[in-house]
A and B are shown apart, each in its own frame.
Chain A
Amino acid sequence: MAISSTLELRVNTKDAQKILEIARETGALLEGEFTLASGKKSNHYFEGKRLTSSAEGAYRVGKVIFDELADIDVDAVGGLAIGAYSIATAVAVVSHLEGKPIPSFIVREEPKQHGTRKKIEGHIKEGFRVVIVDDVITTGGSVNKAIDAVEALNCKVVKVIVLVDRHEGGSDKLKEAGYDFSSIIDLWPTGKVTIGKPSEVTREVREGILPR
């Protein structure tokens, strides 16, 4: 079950700016002309693992997401393997350092074919209030798989946070469905990269007329 939110919560812009810088430094965010898995062309390529494989990147991603959850009652954080793995772990580590532990879990693409045949690994149980994380949202396939898995366990998704929103429809569908959604970096189809609150991004930036 989703929760409705009329507020568009947003990560701290300075933190997001720093993460964007690290993404560029580590090669997690590349500029050029790329063919995506779907066949679509993009001016950017984002590989979340490169960002969260760097020591500072992992810490800052964990911290910015942890801070985003300050006013939310959360039992666990996780998402679909493998994109969410390092992100959820980073949040868990930071939460321990901050004295407000939030355990993590991971949703398998396919249930284990042996042993326990678990679909979800880690610290989650029925009735938990959970946060879903992922590295990129495009059409929303990965995030929705994670949501479906935790909701099948009767958990409540209290927030969805991604490192990068490609604005290809996935985040809009989640918001329309009533999920509280945030992104740290926004890659617009026009090729623009922004870190501001999406609702404050001007039509000119969305349509690629002015730089931001």
Chain B
Amino acid sequence: MANLQKLQEKLEKGFYLDNLYEMAHLCKMLASDTIYPAAFFVMRDIFLDIARRWEERALPVEEAKRVERKMTKPLGDLIQGIETEGSAGGVFDLLNNVVSAYLVSFD
């Protein structure tokens, strides 16, 4: 899936508002074209939630980097798991890792 490759590339670009919205948009498209819609739906919600937290305020570089450090690996692993069409249980575990990382990303 070309959009999955695009999502991986955007993830590597880092966490900033414009990119978060673009990743959320890609996830929305991917959710309707996959056997793992829940994974993309959750990723989209996470990207949008981070974007909403950062919208219309000063975003210190350190904060952006901290969230990026916590989220990039689990998100990358999830995308990789989807790309290799891992088992539903395996993808679900990777999705849980993403959500767990997100829940502490602003601590």
> Interface residues, chain A, CB within 8 Å of chain B?
30, 32-39, 41, 45, 47, 49
Neighbouring A residues of B57 by C-beta, 8 Å: 47
Instruction: Enumerate 26 A-B pairs (CB-CB under 8 Å) in ascending A order.
Output: A30-B58, A32-B58, A32-B60, A33-B61, A33-B62, A34-B59, A34-B60, A35-B16, A35-B59, A35-B60, A35-B61, A35-B64, A36-B16, A36-B17, A36-B59, A37-B17, A38-B18, A39-B13, A39-B16, A39-B18, A39-B19, A41-B61, A45-B58, A47-B56, A47-B57, A47-B58
Q: Which of B1-20 contact A (CB under 8 A)?
A: 13-14, 16-19
A36 nearest in chain B by CB position: B16
Given contacts A35-B60, A39-B16, A39-B18, 13 further A-B contacts (CB under 8 A): A33-B60, A34-B59, A34-B60, A35-B16, A35-B61, A37-B17, A37-B18, A38-B16, A39-B13, A39-B14, A45-B59, A47-B57, A47-B58
Neighbouring B residues of A32 by C-beta, 8 Å: 58, 60
Q: Which of B22-78 contact A (CB under 8 A)?
A: 56-62, 64
Closest chain-B Cβ to A156's Cβ sits at a distance in Å of: 32
B64 nearest in chain A by CB position: A35
Give the distance in Å from the alpha carbon of A8 to the alpha carbon of B14 in the complex: 39
> Interface residues, chain B, CB within 8 Å of chain A?
13-14, 16-19, 56-62, 64
Closest chain-A Cβ to B13's Cβ sits at a distance in Å of: 7
Closest chain-B Cβ to A150's Cβ sits at a distance in Å of: 25
Closest chain-A Cβ to B44's Cβ sits at a distance in Å of: 19
A41 nearest in chain B by CB position: B61
Neighbouring B residues of A39 by C-beta, 8 Å: 13-14, 16, 18-19
Closest chain-A Cβ to B1's Cβ sits at a distance in Å of: 25
Whether B61 lies near A34 (C-beta < 8 A) is yes
A39 nearest in chain B by CB position: B16
Give the distance in Å from the alpha carbon of A34 to the alpha carbon of B65 in the complex: 11
Closest chain-B Cβ to A86's Cβ sits at a distance in Å of: 14
Neighbouring A residues of B17 by C-beta, 8 Å: 36-38
Give the distance in Å from the alpha carbon of A32 to the alpha carbon of B64 in the complex: 14
Give the distance in Å from the alpha carbon of A39 to the alpha carbon of B17 in the complex: 7
Give the distance in Å from the alpha carbon of A47 to the alpha carbon of B54 in the complex: 13
Neighbouring A residues of B60 by C-beta, 8 Å: 32-35
Closest chain-A Cβ to B57's Cβ sits at a distance in Å of: 7
A27 nearest in chain B by CB position: B58
Give the distance in Å from the alpha carbon of A34 to the alpha carbon of B18 in the complex: 15
B68 nearest in chain A by CB position: A35
Closest chain-B Cβ to A137's Cβ sits at a distance in Å of: 17
Closest chain-B Cβ to A108's Cβ sits at a distance in Å of: 17
Neighbouring A residues of B59 by C-beta, 8 Å: 34-36, 45
Neighbouring B residues of A34 by C-beta, 8 Å: 58-61
Neighbouring A residues of B19 by C-beta, 8 Å: 39
Neighbouring A residues of B14 by C-beta, 8 Å: 39
Give the distance in Å from the alpha carbon of A34 to the alpha carbon of B61 in the complex: 5
B56 nearest in chain A by CB position: A47
